[in-house]
Structure 1
Amino acid sequence: MPSHDFTIFADYFQFYIQDEPADGDLSEAWSDEAVARLLAVAPGVVGIGTVRNLDVPVSIEILDKEPILTLSSWDHVVECSMSVQSGRIVVAGCTDYFPDAVRIEVAPGTYRVRVRYSGLNSLSPDGLDGDDRYRLELWQAPAIEPTVIKQRAV
């Protein structure tokens, strides 16, 4: 169960993970529904919405099987799928230089992506400081449509 911790610059209030060679385009994927669920998807790409337009803490776990779903300590939980045919997942902010972005090696296949969000209501009045956290859990599973498991209170 490899776990990876990053600080990612969430420019435009988002960061993404993608299959390295994927050419899916998130620019059209950020519909009103996607913004509300803090999750946008395109072929081979998952965009994760954030509440800050700054560096945010991100944890990514690659798992052998679906983890136990606990909701009590999370503000918002969503799931979707991502095809990773290359065996390399790129993790980046949307304005990061792609060749320099972090890569995570995984077995090729279709992955379930669960995103858990916490501290979404902890931002300072100016929106610069907060205890927001973003935890991604990935495991191989059949494809699903984007799903909100727990909707955050706004």
Structure 2
Amino acid sequence: MSFVNFSFPQNFAPSARYKLDFFTSENQFYLCDSAFAAETGDTSFWSYRAYNDRLAIADDIVGISTESFGHIKAELDVLDAPSREKDFKIYDHVVEGGLKLSSGIMMILNHPDFKIELKAIVTPGRYRIRIYSYDLKNINTQEDEGPDHYKIEIWTSTDMKRKVLKQFESE
């Protein structure tokens, strides 16, 4: 587990990059507020749309769908401003959603035991999250590890709606 503790002036949006390399299960992991109250086992969380969009959303937690069953390689960037990346050619899937981080502590959790893989202090508020997924096509579903990789960007925003910017089409 990584724990990053900074002291930020009020209304300061920190910039940081975190490398993630951990094990999860059942093709998913979570990004959430440390005091999240949403129920991830509810069928409205992992709905048909959430599976198709590869992102489940509740007020204070999002579920990120992965191709690999176990080993996850990712990076998470906390940005000072909205992402400017608009060319999605190198990615297989790109999706955005919103997340409320009321406690000011953001966490990455594995599944199903919710082990904390990252804990970082952020300015409390509402955030926009964009997940870029790539190398999704060559996954052997019988193995825990694959070439898939995930880039996650987060910045302050009041836009909480899920939006697919590029849809992955499995063969």
TM-score by length of 1: 0.92
Contact 1:17/1:46 (8 A) holds in 2: yes
Please tell me whether residue 50 in structure 1 is matched to residue 43 in structure 2. Answer: no
In our comparison, the structure showing a higher alpha carbon Rg is: 2
- For 2:130, which of 114, 126, 131 is the aligned residue? 114
Amino acid of the structure 1 residue aligned with 2:158 = P
Residue 33 (1) aligns with residue 52 (2): no
Q: 1:148 aligned to 2:164? A: yes
Q: Is the 8 A contact 2:40 2:46 kept in 1?
A: yes
Q: Which runs of 5+ in 2 are unaligned?
A: 1-14
Which of 53, 63, 71 is equivalent to 2:88? Answer: 71
Q: Tell me, yes or no, if structure 1 residue 83 matches structure 2 residue 97.
A: no
Of residues 44, 67, 77, the one that matches 1:61 is 77
Q: CA deviation at 1:58?
A: 1.5
| Structure 1: unaligned runs, 5 residues or longer | none
Match of 2:17 in 1: 3
CA distance in structure 2 between the partners assigned to 1:97 and 1:150 by the alignment: 28
The list of structure 1 runs, each at least 4 consecutive aligned residues, that deviate by more than 3 angstroms after superposition, is 124-129
For 2:139 and 2:117, the matched residues in 1 are separated by 27
1:128–1:104 distance in 2 versus 1, CA, 3 Å: same
CA RMSD of aligned residues (A): 1.5
Aligned residues: 153
Contact in 2 for aligned 1:26/1:41 (Cα 8 Å):
no
Q: Larger % of helix: which? A: 1
Greater mean alpha carbon deviation, residues 117-126 or residues 58-67: 117-126
CA offsets, 1:68-120, max 9 Å, x none? Answer: 1220111000000000111101111122454x542011111100000000000
Q: Quote the Cα distance in structure 2 between the aligned partners of 1:46 and 1:8.
A: 18
